[in-house]
């Protein structure tokens, strides 16, 4: 068998995250929905290393009377997103572009995170046929914070809980 050594895709700068208030079909989101006036690209609001979607799946024992070995079986899957941390300016005027996330992500606001991996977040917008993950979410309380107490470069941020409210659709193509 021939050996395959994948080149891999650089991670830095290649994660695009958008908040989208409504999606008609989570299995077939459209570019129009993801780039609509109510949507917000938060890729540059989020602080580095602080957007962490993940999941886990329960495992249980599958014991058989005739076996000397215990097998395993898979159970329920749980998808989660750690608290998000994003840049904000608490003293800025209403509707300031740099505060869109803080103003939009009020507690109990629901919608979707549409996440694209592997394509430059700054120079390439969402287009048809790109693969994305769609996370149905609701926002929790906003808490102001500093990134680090002893960091002279720290920015004022918002730390906010996010709950996953439905089935996460992964690797779906934008239409």
Domain boundaries, given as residue ranges, for the chain: 15-51+78-173
pLDDT value of residue 147: 60
Q: Is the pLDDT of residue 79 over 80?
A: yes
What is the pLDDT at residue 130?
A: 98
Q: Which residue, 14, 27, 39, 51, is CA-closest to 134? A: 27
* pLDDT on residue 154: 82
Q: What is the pLDDT of residues 27-71, one digit of tens each?
A: 999 999 999 999 999 999 999 888 999 999 999 999 999 999 999
pLDDT for residue 148 is more than 70: no
Angle at 56 between CA 14 and CA 146, to 5 degrees: 55
CB 175 within 8 Å of CB 121: no
What pLDDT is attached to residue 112? 98
Q: What is the mean pLDDT of the chain?
A: 94
115-142 pLDDT, tens digit each = 999 999 999 999 999 999 999 999 999 9
Is it the case that residue 3 has pLDDT exceeding 80? yes
* Per-residue buried b or exposed e for 85-95, using 16+ beta carbons within 10 Å of the residue's own CB: bbbbeeeeeee
Q: Is 168 exposed, middle or buried (0-12, 13-18, 19+ CB in 10 A)?
A: buried
- Grade residue 151 by pLDDT with cuts at 50, 70 and 90: confident
What is the spatial distance between Cα 137 and Cα 158, in angstroms, rounded to a whole number?
17
Beta carbons of 172 and 132 less than 8 angstroms apart: yes
Residue 22 CA to residue 26 CA, distance in Å, equals 9
Q: Does residue 150 have a pLDDT over 90? A: no
């Amino acid at each position: 068998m021939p050996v395959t050594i994948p080149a891999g895709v650089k991670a830095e700068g290649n994660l695009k995250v958008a908040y989208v208030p409504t999606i008609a079909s989570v299995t077939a989101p459209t570019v129009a929905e993801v780039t609509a006036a109510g949507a917000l690209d938060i890729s540059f609001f989020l602080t580095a290393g602080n957007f962490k979607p993940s999941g886990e799946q329960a495992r249980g024992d599958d014991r058989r009377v005739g076996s000397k070995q215990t097998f395993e079986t898979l159970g329920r899957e749980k998808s989660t997103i750690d608290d998000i941390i994003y840049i904000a300016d608490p003293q800025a005027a209403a509707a300031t572009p740099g505060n869109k996330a803080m103003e939009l992500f009020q507690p109990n606001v629901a919608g979707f995170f549409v996440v694209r991996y592997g394509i430059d977040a700054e120079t390439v917008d969402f287009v048809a046929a790109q693969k994305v993950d769609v996370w149905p979410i609701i926002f929790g309380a906003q808490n102001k914070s500093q990134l680090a107490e002893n960091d002279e470069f720290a920015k004022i941020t918002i730390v906010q809980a996010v709950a996953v409210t439905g089935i996460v659709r992964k690797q779906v193509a934008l239409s």
